[in-house]
């Protein structure tokens, strides 16, 4: 089991399309997290920033950008990028600094200001970049990959478009009163089916939008936390594993999978391994979870995650959904925040926002979406180029 | 065809055999561990248990089984060159048995998701990705075997 660090404070700037600079969202979230922790900015010894790739140089050096905006205080900084796992990589960096005894208090911040519409690759003529090439030669947007996974679920397990729509409806019912959510509206099955098809079988309302937003957390050593509070939420695991060769599931932004002719296919597929490593670190298993925040880049992907994190066997996710097990009030609520379906994705902030949400539930502070008696929560996500992350928090 | 038929040229050099009658994706194979790569790997083998650094160019199997499929109902952003008006097209993920890998490709024009089913046999053909005043830029496509 891994040693633990404490979550002393969490904060978010609401998700939306605000049209302002990403730094503002990050600083607002950081100030909220510091206030929540009862700490001053001057108490922070280390800043871990989640980078954004869409806001120029300040986005590539996010930790320093946020530190400067908060007012230089001499803290050490590190900026991380890991696609959708960016925020968790920043959490991992801060946690490692604390566990190594190099600092007592660390601030983790991620924020983004996202363009409208499809994410596109970096500009220019760059035929050596697979992310550029997949757009140029295939027109393979992110929803194309989500569509391939969704259709595979239908073909392999008999999932239906109705099942996928029900995920969207559930998450909208979870998140419509969440003050930090972008889409504060409940959707019906009819609404989903009336929205235009984007990448068959996925419709517009089932695909994650791109959002502005910011999230921050204050982490500290357990020793430091015990001087301030009796029962802090603890980080029990942070997994940021990469795939094992051969990776036989097609992944963004690739044209092909690895070839499996020379080596056996790993026993544990990549997305399963992200959770498995987190469970091993925490000394916990899926049966211990009170809730999970999973990356519903599409409504269909949420169902894949149920299986990847061990809530059920492959092919049984639709039953779990339809039995109400993953609805608030059910056996294991998934995405009580409303998920990406209610937020849209603010890439470097999203994995941090997942940690904020779980923390609120473990503290009993989640308001009318509270999962009663929550003791343990898991977050998980996956991004392009072999990135993924999972964080386990417990009381 | 009129006399001013456009020149057909690959949209990317070296990724496939530009032979309308017998096209094939061109990959590489590590001479040490025999792992296939598409697009080509030509520097260091990515099998973590192989130290190989020599590769031979190999044409990949022209036929495979459909693993999954979807489509683009909206025009992708640049650098995709989309016709105006945009015409939706399907994308297929096809499993190659010999190479034990899945390769993506656009599906030939005129075949939509309603015509596809996982497990179908698919074959590689050449199709036009986009064109300008002088040239048609060609890419590989997947097509259901009749």
Q: Is residue B54 part of a domain?
A: no
User: A133 to chain B, minimum CA–CA distance in Å?
Assistant: 8
Nearest residue to A59 via CA among A23, A8, A9: A23
Overall average pLDDT of the B83-103 stretch: 97
Exposed e or buried b per residue across A348-363, where buried means at least 16 C-beta atoms within 10 angstroms of its C-beta: bbbbbbbbbbbbbbbb
Q: Taking 70 as the threshold, does the pLDDT of residue A67 lie above it?
A: yes
Nearest by CB to B35, from A202, A248, A262: name it.
A262
ipTM above 0.95, yes or no: yes
- Total tally of structural domains belonging to chain B: 1
Confidence of residue A2 (pLDDT cuts 50, 70, 90): confident
User: Kind and range of the H or E element at A170?
Assistant: helix A161-175
Whole-number Cα distances in Å, A63 to A14, A69, A90, A211, A279:
20, 10, 9, 20, 29
Q: Taking 80 as the threshold, does the pLDDT of residue B1 lie above it?
A: no
Sort out which chain A residues have CB atoms less than 8 A from B72's CB and list them.
139, 141, 144, 199
Q: Is residue B82 part of a domain?
A: yes
| Structure token pair of residue A62 | 């996010």
Overall average pLDDT of the A257-280 stretch: 98
Nearest residue to A180 via CA among A338, A6, A379, A389: A338
Q: Taking 60 as the threshold, does the pLDDT of residue A286 lie above it?
A: yes
Chain A nearest-CA residue for B96: A259
Could you tell me what percent of chain A has a pLDDT over 70? 100
Nearest residue to A8 via CA among A321, A355, A383, A351: A355
Chain A nearest-CA residue for B46: A245
Overall average pLDDT of the B120-137 stretch: 97
Q: Is residue B117 part of a domain?
A: yes
Sort out which chain B residues have CB atoms less than 8 A from A140's CB and list them.
76, 91, 104
Sign of the torsion formed by the C-alpha atoms of A268, A138, A133 and A346: negative
Q: Is residue B114 part of a domain?
A: yes
Confidence (pLDDT) at A280: 98
Please give the full DSSP string across A180-215, using - where no structure is assigned: T-S------HHHHHHSPEEETTEEGGGBPPB-EEEE
Check CB contact under 8 Å for A196 and B73: yes
User: B4 to chain A, minimum CA–CA distance in Å?
Assistant: 26
Q: With an 8 Å Cβ cutoff, is B120 touching chain A? A: no
Confidence (pLDDT) at A116: 80
User: B19 to chain A, minimum CA–CA distance in Å?
Assistant: 18
Exposed e or buried b per residue across A53-90, where buried means at least 16 C-beta atoms within 10 angstroms of its C-beta: bbbeebbeebbbbbbebbeeeebebbbbbbbbbbbbbb
Confidence (pLDDT) at B4: 65
Q: For A106-145, how does the pLDDT look when each residue is reduced to its tens digit (9 = 90+)?
A: 999 999 999 887 788 888 889 889 999 999 999 999 999 9
CB atoms within 10 A of CB A268: 13
In three-state secondary structure terms, B90 is strand
CA angle, A96 then A100 then A104, to 5°: 85
Q: For A323-361, how does the pLDDT look when each residue is reduced to its tens digit (9 = 90+)?
A: 999 999 999 999 999 999 999 999 999 999 999 999 999
Q: Taking 60 as the threshold, does the pLDDT of residue A151 lie above it?
A: yes
Nearest residue to A196 via CA among A188, A186, A206: A206
Q: For A24-55, how does the pLDDT look when each residue is reduced to its tens digit (9 = 90+)?
A: 999 999 999 999 999 999 999 999 999 999 99
Q: Are A355 and A7 in contact (CB under 8 A)?
A: yes
Q: CA A346, CA A105: separation in Å to the nearest integer?
A: 25
Per the structure, the complete domain to which residue B82 belongs is given by 62-128+137-146
Q: Is residue B27 part of a domain?
A: no
Whole-number Cα distances in Å, A54 to A21, A121, A348, B103:
11, 10, 11, 29
Overall average pLDDT of the A85-93 stretch: 97
Sort out which chain A residues have CB atoms less than 8 A from B15's CB and list them.
137
Check CB contact under 8 Å for B70 and A155: no
Nearest residue to A351 via CA among A207, A248, A272, A235: A235
Burial class of B83 by CB neighbour count within 10 A (0 to 12, 13 to 18, 19+): exposed
Q: For B21-75, how does the pLDDT look when each residue is reduced to its tens digit (9 = 90+)?
A: 999 999 999 999 999 999 999 999 999 999 999 999 999 999 999 999 999 999 9
Overall average pLDDT of the A233-251 stretch: 97
Q: CA A330, CA A309: separation in Å to the nearest integer?
A: 17
How much is the mean pLDDT over chain A? 97
Nearest residue to A41 via CA among A214, A215, A218, A213: A218
Q: CA A109, CA A47: separation in Å to the nearest integer?
A: 8
Rg, C-alpha atoms of chain B:
17
How much is the mean pLDDT over chain B? 96
Overall average pLDDT of the A355-375 stretch: 97
Indicate the CATH number of A5-117+211-226 among 3.40.47.10, 3.90.226.10, 1.10.3720.10, 3.30.1230.10.
3.40.47.10
β-pairing, A46-50 vs A105-112, is: parallel
Q: CA A91, CA A93: separation in Å to the nearest integer?
A: 5
N residues, chain A: 395
Q: Taking 70 as the threshold, does the pLDDT of residue B141 lie above it?
A: yes
Confidence (pLDDT) at A372: 97
Confidence (pLDDT) at B5: 84
Q: With an 8 Å Cβ cutoff, is B101 touching chain A? A: yes
Q: Is residue B19 part of a domain?
A: no
């Amino acid at each position: 089991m891994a040693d633990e660090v404490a979550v002393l404070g969490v904060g978010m700037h609401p998700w939306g399309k605000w049209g302002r600079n990403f730094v503002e969202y990050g600083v607002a979230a950081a100030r909220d997290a510091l206030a929540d922790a009862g700490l001053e900015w001057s108490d922070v010894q280390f800043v871990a920033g989640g980078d954004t790739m869409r806001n120029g140089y300040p986005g590539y050096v996010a930790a320093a950008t946020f530190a400067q905006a908060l007012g230089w205080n001499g803290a050490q900084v590190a900026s991380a990028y890991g696609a959708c796992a960016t925020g968790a990589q920043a959490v991992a960096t801060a946690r490692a600094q604390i566990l190594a005894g190099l600092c007592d208090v660390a601030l983790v911040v991620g924020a983004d200001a996202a363009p409208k519409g499809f994410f596109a690759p970096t500009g220019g003529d760059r035929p050596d970049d697979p992310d550029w090439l997949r757009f140029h030669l295939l027109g393979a947007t992110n929803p194309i990959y989500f569509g391939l996974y969704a259709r595979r679920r239908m073909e392999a397990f008999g999932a239906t478009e109705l099942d996928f729509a029900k995920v969207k409806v559930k998450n909208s019912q979870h998140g419509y009163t969440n003050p930090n959510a972008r889409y504060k509206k409940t959707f019906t099955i009819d609404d989903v089916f009336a929205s235009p098809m984007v990448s068959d079988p996925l419709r517009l309302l089932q695909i994650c939008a791109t959002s502005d937003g910011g999230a921050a957390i204050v982490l500290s050593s357990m020793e430091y936390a015990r001087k301030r509070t009796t029962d802090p939420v603890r980080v029990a695991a942070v997994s940021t594993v990469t795939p094992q060769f051969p990776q036989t599931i097609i992944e963004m932004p690739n044209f092909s999978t690895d070839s499996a002719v020379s080596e056996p296919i790993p026993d544990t597929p990549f997305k399963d391994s992200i959770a498995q490593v987190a469970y091993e670190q925490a000394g916990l298993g899926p049966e211990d979870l009170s809730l999970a925040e999973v990356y519903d880049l599409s409504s269909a992907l949420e169902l894949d995650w149920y299986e990847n994190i061990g809530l059920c066997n492959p092919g049984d996710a639709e039953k779990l959904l339809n039995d109400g097990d993953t609805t608030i009030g059910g056996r294991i609520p998934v995405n009580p925040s409303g998920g990406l379906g209610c937020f849209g994705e603010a890439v470097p902030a999203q994995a941090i926002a997942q940690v904020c949400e779980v923390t609120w539930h473990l503290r009993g502070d989640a308001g009318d979406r509270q999962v009663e008696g929550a003791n343990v929560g898991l977050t998980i996500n996956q991004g392009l180029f072999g990135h993924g992350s999972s964080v386990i928090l417990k009381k | 065809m009129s006399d001013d038929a456009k020149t057909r040229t690959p949209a990317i050099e070296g990724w496939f055999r530009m032979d309308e009658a017998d096209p094939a994706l061109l990959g590489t194979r590590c001479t040490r561990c025999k792992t296939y790569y598409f697009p080509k790997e030509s520097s260091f083998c990515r099998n973590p248990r192989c130290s190989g650094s020599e590769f031979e160019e190999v044409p990949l199997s022209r036929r495979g089984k459909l693993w999954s499929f979807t489509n683009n109902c909206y025009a992708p952003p640049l650098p995709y060159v989309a016709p105006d008006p945009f015409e939706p097209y399907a994308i297929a993920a096809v499993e190659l048995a010999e190479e034990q890998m899945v390769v993506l490709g656009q599906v030939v024009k005129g075949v939509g998701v309603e015509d596809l089913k996982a497990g179908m046999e698919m074959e590689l053909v050449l199709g036009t990705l986009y064109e300008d005043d002088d040239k048609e830029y060609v890419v590989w496509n997947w097509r259901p075997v009749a």
